[in-house]
Amino acid sequence: MKKSILIISLFVSASGISQLTTPGTGENYNLSELSALDPTVLGFDGTKYILNADLIIAASDTLEVTSSDTLFVDPDKRITIEGSLITDAGENNIKFFISSSDTLNPAEGIRFEEHSFASIKNTEFTYIGGLKVMTEEFLIENCFLAHNVSGVSTGAVISLSRGAAVIRNNVFFQNDLPAVGSGANQKVAAQIIGNRIEKNGQTNVNRPQLNMGPTGEDTLRVIDNIIIGDRALSMVGGVGVSNFMGATAKINAIIENNTIQDNRYGVTIAGSNANALIKGNTIEDNDTQNDPALGGSGISVNSTDDSQSLILRENKIRRNLWGITVISKGSVDLGTIGDLGDNVFSENGNNGEFFALYNNTSLPINAMGNCWIETNETADSAAIEEVITHQVDDPLLGVVDFSLPSCGTLGIVSFDEADFTLYPNPAETSIQFENKMNFEKIEFFTLNGQLINTFRLDSGHNQINVELPQGLYMLHFTNANHQLTKKLMIK
């Protein structure tokens, strides 16, 4: 189809700068067709396109690139998407390349206006001023973003303003700014999944590589990413989610199955009205600043009130200056009788002391069923006390319930639980079971974790008389090497 006549808006200054704007008539353009509209603005030298003025893809128009083209943009020039940008040069490492014609004087970058649309795949962005995303309709996948600088985007390589952008399977490498960010006065619930995020924040300012603000009612998901710092940078953290302390904007987040290493700190959640699941992460060696007075936590939580609800499960937290720090009125759930924590701590410490968990609040913390000293599978309560700071150390602090500790084989049941039958269930006055695993004791807990009774067990058949109010209870069976939790209903 013959393309519509170009509309050119001309801004005249001492240097005679022009800009190229598409007509806004619902057309699709590739780079060749766009260049044909005005080759003096978007030229082609046989191998690459060069943009020497600002480019605007007008509302209802689309720039679609499905070939391995290269686009160089001159210093201080920007691309603005009011309509749509679609790129997909295919698979097998074939990419569309966007960069600056002069890497020492970068282009301004790309701005996506509100109500625009972006589906960006298999594209490489280098040495430009980032991507400023004002739209909710944004996908970037299988892309490479490296050596980008502050420009149209000043907060991150990809700066988000609203919606639930999908950022999946990309590589962010040695950019001046954080990889992805959103503002404290915005509501962004991005889906940041499967990316490699390495050595970003090269300007070495106090920002994490993922620097996220409030989410609103939707949920931020940071899942299956590798987030590696640069040990030469002393100020750059791993993942930060904050509503800037005291703000009422809600935070809902899932931070799961990430590897977070060699940053100033691992994960921080700061602010009230925050709900998060932090699960299955490996958080190691986050100590690049090496000043325990200023940071270095594997996980740090902080709130101005008691409205936080943060659940931490199955994380491996090793060799940070602090394991987990809970500050002001921050609140964490590290494990209950019905849902053990299964977090593993090892060698988190500073100045010759070890700190797996530091409860620097007056609130109690449930932290049942964790491995507090990975190198000491049979650590007793006295040894665990040495790596936990709480009410025992300072009467003004809240107490930590670190009961049911488990490391290594402890907590791994090496038999089919179906073979373990407890009956009757529901029960009235007694229960019976065959103690084939030679459990040594059974503990009865309420659902809120209160221990109400303990019985020693014999090998073989056991019958235990129970006199309990109606309700649901958790029964915890243990010996030196195994544990098992069962629910019991009393009718």
Backbone angles phi, psi at 390, to 5 degrees: -160, -150
Would you state the pLDDT for residue 57? 98
CA 325 to mean position of chain CA atoms: 18
Please write down the HEC assignment for all residues of 341-378.
Answer: CCCEEECCEECCEECCEEEECCCCEECCCCECCCCCCC
> Within a domain: residue 111?
no
Average pLDDT over residues 230-249: 88
Report cis status (omega within 30 of 0) of the bond before 424: yes
> Within a domain: residue 482?
yes
Query: What CA–CA distance (Å, rounded) separates 476 from 442?
Result: 5
Would you state the pLDDT for residue 91? 67
8 A C-beta contact, residue 32 and residue 43: no
- Does 148 have pLDDT greater than 60? yes
Average pLDDT over residues 202-219: 96
- Does 11 have pLDDT greater than 70? no
Percent of the chain predicted with pLDDT > 70: 92
Quote the DSSP letter at residue 42: E
- The amino acid at residue 224 is D
- Does 246 have pLDDT greater than 70? no
Query: What CA–CA distance (Å, rounded) separates 154 from 147?
Result: 14
- The amino acid at residue 186 is Q
> Within a domain: residue 445?
yes
Give the CATH number for residue 474: 2.60.40.3080
Name every residue whose Cβ is closer than 8 Å to that of residue 243 and which is 6 or more positions away in sequence. Answer: 184, 213, 214, 249, 250, 251, 270, 271, 272, 273, 274
> Within a domain: residue 393?
no
8 A C-beta contact, residue 333 and residue 300: no
Q: Which domain holds residue 432?
A: 418-490
Query: 46-55, 410-419, 438-447: lowest mean pLDDT where?
Result: 410-419
Task: Name the pLDDT band for 415 (thresholds 50, 70, 90).
Answer: very low
Which has the higher per-residue pLDDT, 441 or 84? 84
- Does 448 have pLDDT greater than 70? no
- State pTM to two decimals: 0.84
- Does 8 have pLDDT greater than 50? no
> Within a domain: residue 164?
no
Q: Which residue has the tokens 């299955």?
A: 280
Q: How far apart are the first and last CA of the chain?
A: 77
Task: Name the pLDDT band for 9 (thresholds 50, 70, 90).
Answer: very low
Which has the higher per-residue pLDDT, 346 or 467? 346
Q: Coil, strand, or helix at residue 111?
A: strand
Average pLDDT over residues 196-201: 98
- Does 408 have pLDDT greater than 70? no
Query: What CA–CA distance (Å, rounded) separates 256 from 222?
Result: 6
Query: What CA–CA distance (Å, rounded) separates 259 from 244?
Result: 25
> Within a domain: residue 438?
yes
Residues 163-195: b if buried by 16+ CB within 10 A, e if exposed = bbbbbbebbbbebbbbbbbbbeebbbbbbbbeb
Q: Which residue in 403, 19, 16 sits closest to 8, CA to CA?
A: 19
Q: How many domains does one find in the chain?
A: 1
8 A C-beta contact, residue 29 and residue 3: yes
- 202 class by beta-carbon count within 10 Å (0-12 exposed, 13-18 middle, 19+ buried): middle
> Within a domain: residue 20?
no
Would you state the pLDDT for residue 487? 82
Report cis status (omega within 30 of 0) of the bond before 292: no
Quote the DSSP letter at residue 216: T
Query: What CA–CA distance (Å, rounded) separates 142 from 92?
Result: 11
Would you state the pLDDT for residue 64? 97
- Does 390 have pLDDT greater than 90? yes
Query: What CA–CA distance (Å, rounded) separates 302 from 355?
Result: 17
Quote the DSSP letter at residue 35: H
Q: Which residue in 13, 14, 121, 11 sits closest to 65, CA to CA?
A: 121
Which has the higher per-residue pLDDT, 185 or 450? 185
Tokens of 50: 């060069």
> Within a domain: residue 147?
no
Which has the higher per-residue pLDDT, 309 or 92? 309
Would you state the pLDDT for residue 417? 54
